[in-house]
């Protein structure tokens, strides 16, 4: 009798870590508008680490931008409100590539946990030291005065926006994709494409006025199978390195083969939820990776 090697649906097979750094090509503003600034205060201040007072990139801001860009690239219309913003959520199976990667709330029929985890990204020690030595307007940041002109009266209103200066580097970016099925390895390509889209768009606020241009550098793709978590670390983790996002895209076939070799995904048990539906063909064409 043949041995059944299939595994239960929802069993974790491993994780893919994408690490790197984010370099600011122009000033970066991630924060909130202060509707009642104190005298001498900033109209729009950046978020800061409360322990070090250094600016940082919240994982929620980076993740939200990557989802938004992926929705636009896939042509997915925002149809649900979540946390005060409108996003796309599939309302019937099968879930599209965006919903597979970023998740769907439990109250919908297509509910599934998010595959993607995005960590906060902190200012590198080198950048922090260089900015401290420059004696900027505020610790580690500069203040830009912007002018808004009324189209009818020609009256000018000014506002002060706090920015992390260009050339600053945020290090130890980490994006994690949980792998439950082979499709998750293929969907990793959607994440890389979102980073490429981000580089030609902007991160944070003021993007249409010149802020938020970034580049992702010194990337490393690190696969970890579930079995490897039960073993002691053996030196440096096995990884595939790329200088930038463009290189990672150019090596997409190599990356996917590398991930499949390091994270074997056995066949899963077929259920009504996982069986292909008639609408699957209309979902999307995947970026190859």
Count of residues in the chain: 289
Query: How many Å apart are CA 174 and CA 120, to the nearest integer?
Result: 8
At residue 35, the pLDDT reads 55
**Could you tell me if residue 7 is inside a domain?**
no
At residue 152, the pLDDT reads 83
Helix (H, G, I), strand (E, B) or coil at 8: coil
At residue 3, the pLDDT reads 53
Query: How many Å apart are CA 215 and CA 196, to the nearest integer?
Result: 9
E strand map for the chain: 14-24, 31-33, 44-46, 56-57, 80-82, 85-87, 116-118, 121-123, 142-149, 156-163, 169-179, 214-225, 240-244
Q: Summarize pLDDT for 150-178 with one digit per residue, the tens.
A: 778 878 777 889 999 999 999 999 999 99
Q: Residue 175 to residues 5, 125, 135, 282: CA-CA distances in angstroms?
A: 31, 20, 33, 28
**Could you tell me if residue 282 is inside a domain?**
no
CA angle 238, 103, 80 (to 5 degrees): 150
pLDDT tens string, the chain, 289 residues long: the values are: 455 555 566 799 999 999 999 999 999 999 976 655 554 467 789 999 999 999 999 999 999 999 999 999 999 999 888 777 889 999 888 889 999 999 887 777 777 789 999 999 999 999 999 999 998 889 999 999 887 777 788 787 778 899 999 999 999 999 999 999 999 999 999 999 999 999 999 999 999 999 999 999 999 999 999 999 888 776 677 999 999 999 999 999 999 999 999 999 988 664 444 444 333 334 444 455 5
**Could you tell me if residue 284 is inside a domain?**
no
**Could you tell me if residue 285 is inside a domain?**
no
**Could you tell me if residue 274 is inside a domain?**
no
Q: What stretches of 9-111 show up as alpha helix (H) in DSSP?
A: 59-74, 97-102
Tokens of 5: 């090697």
DSSP 133: H
**Could you tell me if residue 4 is inside a domain?**
no
At residue 107, the pLDDT reads 73
Structural domain for 21, as ranges: 14-226+239-267
Any residues with CB less than 8 A from the CB of 9 and at least 6 apart, and which?
180, 268, 269, 271, 273, 274
**Could you tell me if residue 277 is inside a domain?**
no
Question: Which pTM was predicted?
Answer: 0.85
Number of separate domains in the chain: 1
The string of DSSP letters for 53-69 reads: --BEE-HHHHHHHHHHH
Helix (H, G, I), strand (E, B) or coil at 172: strand
**Could you tell me if residue 212 is inside a domain?**
yes
């Amino acid at each position: 009798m043949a041995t059944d090697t299939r595994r239960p649906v929802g069993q974790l097979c491993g994780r893919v870590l994408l690490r790197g750094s984010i370099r600011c090509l122009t000033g970066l503003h991630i924060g909130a508008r202060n509707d009642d600034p104190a005298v001498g205060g900033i109209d729009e201040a950046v978020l800061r680490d409360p322990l070090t007072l250094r600016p940082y990139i919240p994982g929620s801001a980076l993740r939200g931008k990557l989802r938004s860009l992926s929705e636009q690239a896939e042509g997915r219309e925002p149809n649900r409100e979540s946390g005060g913003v409108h996003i796309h959520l599939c309302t019937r199976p099968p879930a599209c590539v965006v919903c597979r990667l970023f998740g769907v709330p439990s109250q919908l029929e297509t509910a599934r946990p998010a595959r993607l985890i995005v960590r906060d990204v902190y200012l590198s020690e080198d950048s922090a030291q260089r900015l401290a030595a420059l004696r900027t307007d505020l610790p580690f940041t500069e203040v830009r005065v912007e002018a808004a002109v009324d189209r009818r009266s020609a009256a000018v209103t000014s506002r002060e926006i706090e920015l992390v200066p260009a050339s600053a580097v945020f290090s130890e970016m980490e994006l994690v994709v949980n792998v439950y099925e082979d499709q998750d390895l293929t969907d990793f390509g959607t994440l890389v494409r979102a980073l490429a889209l981000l580089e030609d768009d902007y991160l944070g606020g003021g993007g249409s006025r010149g802020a938020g241009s970034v580049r992702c550098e010194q990337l490393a793709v690190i696969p970890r199978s579930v079995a490897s978590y039960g073993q002691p670390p053996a030196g440096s983790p096995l990884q595939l390195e790329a200088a930038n996002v463009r290189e990672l895209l150019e090596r997409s076939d190599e990356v996917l083969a590398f991930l499949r070799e390091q994270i074997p995904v056995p066949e899963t048990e077929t259920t009504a939820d996982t069986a292909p539906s008639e609408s699957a063909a209309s979902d999307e064409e995947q970026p190859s990776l």
